[in-house]
Structure 1
């Protein structure tokens, strides 16, 4: 779709509301400092001081605290066994997913012709109806392009298009293909849609969002779907089949249309996992900058889902396949945003490592897709990062889990306006993340996360503009009864947009939340590998 002449919307915001900025900066610095302090507490740091000698009062105090923090029996070992054969013999096909992707895109085009028969984009479809594709328009896009940036809304480009790519990934994965081969299907499927799905000119940002972001979103959804089926053993039952199909519709389609051919379930190899579901209320007490006066819903309901898959430390678990470690989170809210965030990151290639008896980790190349929309602005990115994830047992009962990443990719950001127009800006993106979780036995966990995005002018229609977005959160979850708990959280989101010769835009949103938590693990996901603790089970 054609090169946009849209202007970075933040450059129109000529006022900068600085109310509360000093306190926000203070919180931001404190959050970053606290997160860095926790994440960078590598095992070697603990060796600076000698541990208390056995039998000393300090040692006795540590043991007493550990005993207070662990009062319930540990969860049983998580062992999942393969169901049938997956990706072998007749359970693998390269032709079927290719045909399905082409058919899916044909159905999307027919749907567009029926629902939007007279839709014409004056800037991007060259006067043609958007869905009135002909061989000549497809050939022109293939041979001449020109590739550019489209004018679709932020939600279309940064949610619907990645999900479209996730469908392609799901078709290929559920037909028995590996991650990288399926990623090629996703990329080529996106390319086919850009060339022959619409009359609008092919779009670089859509190719990134669907062709690359789609794989990074689709793989966790496929693995989640497979995990639901695998936990149901040989006969998952109606509800598990339905849940798996909702998580990955193309996988559900292949299971039911092709009978036993694709009934084999992707083998998880029994990863260590942690699941958390939160249901509660958000209270936005602080919002400044453009849109803060009329675009903010102060009180809203919220549903949050989080899964960490393949946590380091489980004996015998390996990271031989892409996404053998990943985490995924999404938050749905009752305001018009619907999705406040969708975030996933997975290990594409890496190795596990250890330090002493109490630390286990994995490091390597990660791929991530993020979508964050804190009411008055939003940001989305598809990035590749180098990083690490690990766990350190501080005492018998207290564990520290953490992640640190830094990388580059492509992203978009902008202010939320009342109308869904092209109101944001694309560019090459730098992304960094620091996260830590301090687990206190089976009693509580404390989380801190800091993310930063820098949307540059490189690879953009606005080469002089840039945006810097910060997202920090701190939360405390306390167990009330077994896997039921309550939690409180504070999230600070901050955006600064600038361009030469135009006043900058500063926006902040501060939100408290109080929620009921259902936990997938009574130990908050702490992975146990220490022989003495395992024998005590």
Structure 2
């Protein structure tokens, strides 16, 4: 899969080169069992996936906030779309072949030199844990999984069916697209991350498309949606949907949607050494799609939230990103003033703060609570009990891992509470804790914690302007055999102006 580029440690003379399923992405280094390990740190994030991720949020921020009332005779759910199974498989193969051809014949990368002997080895050999950069594995792979995913979604597949296609697309690339052994973490990050990011891209591109438009307007809308969602754009062109006139599905426009931004000053530090980092500018972008308390729920991600923070320091431009999508929900208690729901969520998390890095794919069982105080003012709280399918967590290089981060599954819990008026949270509190068991890396377990207190107070509500700030603390405790390693703690303080 595709890799982020930037500054890295000196390359081992035995290091193999690796690229991936990104268009014209810089190559990066990867471990091969036969060739030994090498040190790889995420010192740069100038990858194509990061550029596109930023574009997604900027385009989505242009959508106006809205809360619509459905007519009484509106259908609760559309008829199932026809599935184009073989066409979807062909489009995934076409995408992989086209990207491999660019890397092999134009960029002439070493890792793309494949042949039947390599394919046989990859088909019969074992999987490995690679040593790619943190950004490549935790950002680029999920993004490219979203391309596979959206080929499936646009060909009539459901959320779960598209997940199967995403896995097959990733496996096809790992076996046939490069001469390195297939990677366990690539398959997991591409498949699960592709589910979360892919469905977000599908929903946002649906809000742009208008099947009834014609002429220049239709062309502009299709181009914008394709730029936002390349996998779906490819599929619509292949099937002729990009110019076919017809009805636009009602479900493409959510009842509740809001995007908002904040800009201000950020100060980071290291609580262990007492050193303060250099102050810098911060830009944050957030999306809220649907509402589990106010909307009917029919399909995964009928309600989701997406948040990202960007800072001016070049080496860590994308500081934090999170996607949380509601997979299923059922009411436990419904009263006029308060509700309790039982739900399930999928999470994609990415944190890159100085030398503290965490990326994970996880699922949860969740309790959701809402109490209406006055009008639209309410108090909300959520308790998530998470199962972490795979987490990448920064650690000191050791004799078993010079990558700079460990891989493993784990368990976690999140507690969130907020006072506000949808979608504006005036005051909120959040605490996360996760235990990670290392499968590849240093022989240790990790306990990671994050606490956050934030406020965003309306100043000119009619203009959507507010003033706010937040205090965050990221902490990692590692238990490594025969070593005494203290905790790592990174506080953050920010003040900002918000626009809703």
Place the TM-score, normalised by the shorter chain, in its bin: 0.7 to 0.9
Corresponding residue for 2:493? Answer: 512
Once the two structures are TM-superposed, the CA of residue 435 in structure 1 deviates from its matched residue by 1.4
- Cα 1:341–1:394 change in 2 (3 A) is same
- Could you tell me the TM-score, scaled by structure 2's length? 0.76
Q: Where does residue 269 of structure 2 map in the other structure? A: 286
> What residue is the counterpart of 1:322 in the other structure?
300
User: Cα RMSD between the aligned structures?
Assistant: 3.4
Q: CA deviation at 1:337?
A: 1.0
| Higher RCO structure (Cα 8 Å, ≥6 apart) | 1
CA deviation after TM superposition for structure 1 residue 110, in Å: 2.6
CA shift, 1:105, in A, is 1.6
Q: CA offsets, 1:464-504, max 9 Å, x none?
A: 31222222222211222322222222222122223011121
2:171 match: 191
1:217 to 193, 197, 208: 197
Q: CA deviation at 1:2?
A: 4.7
1:282·1:300 contact (CA, 8 Å) conserved in 2? yes
Number of residues of Structure 1 aligned to a counterpart in Structure 2: 431
Q: Which moved more, 1:353-362 or 1:212-221?
A: 353-362
Cα 1:447–1:265 change in 2 (3 A) is: farther
Distance 1:395 1:191 in 2: 52
Change (3 A) 1:449 1:93: same
Cα 1:443/1:345, change in 2 over 3 Å: closer
Query: Is it true that 1:345 corresponds to 2:324 in the alignment?
Result: yes
Q: Deviations over 1:189-227 (max 9, x none)?
A: 111112112111111111110012211221112112213
Q: Equivalents in 1 of 2:111, 2:40: separation in Å?
A: 25
Mark the CA change 1:362 to 1:234 in structure 2 (over 3 Å): closer, same or farther.
farther
Counterpart residue number, 1:448: 429
Deviation (angstroms), 1:261? 6.4
Give TM-score, length-normalised by structure 1.
Answer: 0.71
Distance 1:338 1:243, change over 3 A: farther
Tell me the residue number matched to 2:384: 405
- What SS is found at the alignment partner of 2:394? strand
Quote the Cα distance in structure 2 between the aligned partners of 1:156 and 1:397.
42
Aligned to 2:471: 490
Q: 1:424 aligns with which of 393, 396, 405?
A: 405
| Structure with the larger strand share | 2
Is the radius of gyration larger for structure 1 or structure 2?
1
Q: 1:455–1:262: structure 2 CA closer, same or farther, 3 Å change rule?
A: farther
Structure 2 residue runs of 5 or longer lacking an equivalent are: 1-30, 42-64
The answer as to whether partners of 1:312 and 1:390 remain within 8 angstroms in 2 is no
Identify the range of structure 1 (343-352 vs 208-217) with the bigger mean alpha-carbon deviation.
Answer: 343-352
Per the TM alignment, residue 456 of structure 1 is displaced from its structure 2 partner at its CA by: 1.1
Aligned partners of 2:409 and 2:436 also within 8 Å: yes
Question: Partner of 2:207 in structure 1?
Answer: 227
Distance 1:359-1:428 versus aligned 2 partners, 3 A rule: same
Q: How does 1:454-533 map to 2 (within 5 A)?
A: 454-457=435-438, 459-462=439-442, 464-479=443-458, 480-482=460-462, 483-519=464-500
Cα displacement (A) at 1:154: 0.8
Task: Give, in angstroms, the shift of residue 395 of structure 1.
Answer: 3.4
What are the ranges of 5 or more consecutive residues in structure 1 without an aligned counterpart?
A: 11-73, 119-128, 520-537
Deviations 1:449-475 (A, max 9, x none): 222232212x3344x312222222222
Distance in 2 of aligned mates of 1:368 and 1:383: 5
Checking the alignment, whether the CA contact within 8 Å between 2:146 and 2:231 is kept in structure 1 is: no
